[in-house]
Chain A
Amino acid sequence: MVPIQYYTALSAILFTIGALGVLTRRNAIIVFMSVELMLNSANLVFVAFARSFQSINGQVFVFFVMAVAAAEVAVGLALIVAIFRSKHNINIDQINNLRG
């Protein structure tokens, strides 16, 4: 059986990659993909611990996260489409309409 530490480490690596992707990439789609990566790194930890502790709670939580992620992607992609329609571009550095 693979020890829990490996899962955790993998998850942390995935989360870091995702976070860096969110912070550094300019393409909105890639930013979304990075977000998904972060969510899934969390999912990985959830299921790893659920299995380790023989508890169903973690697996249930993963389903919720997936559902929320699906919903988020739906809304997010819709937003990206809308932005693209108006700007013909999805570079998030050019989307700063809310600047104070």
Chain B
Amino acid sequence: MFFEEAVSSGPQFFNLVPWIVFFPVIGLLFNIFFGGRILERSRAGEKIVGGVASLAAGLSFLVSVLLAISLNGHPEGMVVPLADWINIGELNIRWAFQVDTLSVTMMLVVSGVGTLIHIYAIGYMHEDVRHNGDPGRFRRFFVFMNLFIAAMMILVSGDNYMMLFVGWEGVGLCSYLLIGFWYEKGKDGIGNALAAKKAMVTNRIGDFGFLLAAFTIFWTFGTFKFHAIFEKAPEVAVANPGALLFITICLLIGVTGKSAQLPLYVWLPDAMAGPTPVSALIHAATMVTAGVYLVARSAEIYVLVPTAQFWVTLVGSVTALFAATIAVGQFDIKKVLAYSTISQLGFMVAAVGMGAFVAGMFHLVTHAFFKALLFLSSGSVIQGLERGHHHVEHDPKLKKQLKGHAHDFDPQDMRNMGGLRERMKITYWVYLIGAIALAGIPPLAGFWSKDEILADASKEFSWAYTLLTLAAIFTAFYMTRQILMVFFGKARTPAAEHAEESPLVVTAPLMILAVLSFFGGLINLPFDGFHQFAHWLEHTLGEYAHPGEFILVVALLSTGLALVSLALGWWLYNPRRYEEFWAIPAARRPDDPLRSYIGPIYEALKNKYWVDELYWAVFLNPYIDLSRFLADVIDWRFWHDWFHDRVIMGGYNLLTRLLAIRIDLGGIDAAANGLAVLTQRVAERLRQVQTGYVRNYALSIFVGVVIILGYLLLR
């Protein structure tokens, strides 16, 4: 329908598509049933368990590649039905897989990046489960990871909104399970569990929006199938524009939850409580981009509702700037990346909001590469530090230097790092590549995708362009700050001094991702003849997949500003200056050089604009007070104490007392007893008659006979 030349040739593997879900499911079942025994019995158990999980993800990737190859020959794609699911009256929903260029793009990203992260996790979790003291949880981790891949594949491959929703909830569940993976750890022993709960609850708010949208879709269109809905959408836009507006806005609420946009982004920074591969896979590369995918998938509805497009763009671009500024004030290496992720998701959401679907998806792909890379490298840094810390703790000579700080050592605090460039060379280089890609310096992947978004924004949405450009400036700044604090200068703690590089199983995926982050931009260079990605998506998105333009001014401006902000970062955090800053006695030293220049603003950034506190004050505390009121006054005092105890129990008591005393004792028992007493009294009298003297009896017989005879004679 959308493609110009219908080239229907080449191999065709569309029917393999269910296997993208089946392989991870097989992998997780294998690990559930055999993983525990393998871990116990075999010394290479972790490699087998992790290997099976990685293989499952890898086979999923292989199928995705075959699908991509098939799409080359048959760009129209195919819907592969698998089974009927719900068949009630007009409602019939089936498990059917939509194979088109958009879904296959997502499949490739999810399974490709996912496989690399699985491999990385074999090495990472090997140490993580030991640091946290429960090696048995190794298997559980990979079961959850495979479950996530399966759920994410359902999300991206469904041919209807309900199947998408199943995946949507499935990934939410995996996110919850993996954030709370070390559920007994964290602040006060419940920190991680609280973070998981926060993610769950926040996402439920978004899912509520999604559900409302889904119901309205069914009400309006009578179906959940993408194709049928998109065909009817233009008619509905004329006949019932309100319904479409409601659907798109409610979907936007779903997007803000899942893709961590304002105002529901607050769960993502806390989600960093999960192991680092989880942060990379779920909370950076794949799950959080589901919202972007959702808007891109619903492109044909969104383009009909300019108001909704405006709101999506607004939410995305404001989030991009908002989160980027917060990232500047963070000290936790993963928190910086988390806010960066929110900011980058803002870029994507803004892009798909303004109709630049190709640019949004392009950024989604490149971001998956470089942000997964950054997260995984930060994991490598953290474990390098942990190794250093371990080394120091077990060396009596070095332990003296710790001065009793051994237990509250935070391997994620960038202030505890420094100088890792020398000790972790591979990690340093890949981190640098990821950071430059993220900062948007050409010719790395991030530049091309971000620039395409900016170019699209500059044409129609100047306000969004301004916001996003500002966000890009902050991006370059906080990445410079992070790189300088982590890798440059002198080691600031003994742990950093003795940090060790990670093993190959960890660094190999990093290197692959680094290559992808470097060259990822090649899939869609903004020059004529290079728009492969745009042409690829054209088969699905049709006319809405306009290839990005290269606007020299925009590119130069954004690159120039990124370089300026990089230089500013260098000026503030360069090793010499930072060491001088660090040499100030701790009592007089502010926590960051930036505080000397923008004190109060910095305080706001460091405290994330007090948004969490605001939510606590505005929503959570009133909510808790309300639930306490409901529990204490309504439920306990009114319902339990008064209604149950007084009304029901009291009434029942009264009734039983009435029945027992008045009816039973007073009526039934009294009747029986009365009869007995009566009998006794009568007998009391009558026994007097029985004298035992024959004479009396004879007399009574005689009298009786006389009376009877008298009666007979006289009647």
A52 within 8 A of B: no
CB distance from A33 to the nearest CB of B (A): 14
CB distance from A75 to the nearest CB of B (A): 15
Contact A99 B702 (CB under 8 A): no
Contact B693 A93 (CB under 8 A): yes
Q: How far is the CA of A31 from the CA of B687 in the complex (A)?
A: 25
Shortest Cβ distance from A19 into B: residue: B702
CB distance from B707 to the nearest CB of A (A): 15
B239 within 8 A of A: no
What residues of B have a CB within 8 angstroms of the CB of A31 in the complex? 694
- Give how many A-B residue pairs fall within 8 Å (CB-CB): 32
* CB-CB contacts below 8 Å: B680-715 with A: 686-695, 698-699, 702
A23 within 8 A of B: yes
Contact B690 A92 (CB under 8 A): no
Q: How far is the CA of A72 from the CA of B288 in the complex (A)?
A: 120
Q: How far is the CA of A24 from the CA of B691 in the complex (A)?
A: 16
What residues of B have a CB within 8 angstroms of the CB of A74 in the complex? none
Contact A23 B695 (CB under 8 A): yes
A22 within 8 A of B: yes
A2 within 8 A of B: no
CB distance from A77 to the nearest CB of B (A): 15
CB distance from B48 to the nearest CB of A (A): 101
Q: How far is the CA of A92 from the CA of B237 in the complex (A)?
A: 124
A5 within 8 A of B: no
Shortest Cβ distance from A22 into B: residue: B698
A86 within 8 A of B: no
Contact B687 A100 (CB under 8 A): yes
A96 within 8 A of B: yes
Q: Specify which of B687, B689, B692, B698 is in contact with A23 (CB 8 Å cutoff).
A: B698
Contact A97 B695 (CB under 8 A): no
CB distance from B482 to the nearest CB of A (A): 115
What residues of B have a CB within 8 angstroms of the CB of A99 in the complex? 690-692
Contact A100 B698 (CB under 8 A): no
Contact B698 A96 (CB under 8 A): no
Q: Specify which of B686, B687, B688, B693 is in contact with A92 (CB 8 Å cutoff).
A: B693
A95 within 8 A of B: yes
Contact A96 B692 (CB under 8 A): yes
A98 within 8 A of B: yes
Shortest Cβ distance from A93 into B: residue: B693
* CB-CB contacts below 8 Å: A68-100 with B: 92-93, 95-100
A1-29 toward B: CB 8 Å interface, digit per residue (1/0)? 00000000000000000010011100000
Task: Enumerate chain B interface residues (CB-CB to A < 8 A).
Answer: 686-695, 698-699, 702
10 residue pairs, one from A and one from B, having the closest CB atoms:
A96-B692, A99-B692, A100-B690, A100-B687, A98-B692, A22-B698, A92-B694, A96-B693, A23-B699, A99-B691
Q: What are 21 inter-chain pairs, A to B, with CB distance below 8 A?
A: A22-B695, A23-B699, A23-B702, A24-B695, A31-B694, A92-B693, A92-B694, A92-B695, A95-B692, A95-B694, A96-B691, A96-B692, A96-B693, A97-B692, A99-B690, A100-B686, A100-B687, A100-B688, A100-B689, A100-B690, A100-B691
Given contacts A100-B686, A100-B691, 19 further A-B contacts (CB under 8 A): A22-B698, A23-B695, A23-B699, A23-B702, A24-B695, A31-B694, A92-B693, A92-B694, A95-B692, A96-B693, A98-B690, A98-B692, A99-B690, A99-B691, A99-B692, A100-B687, A100-B688, A100-B690, A100-B692
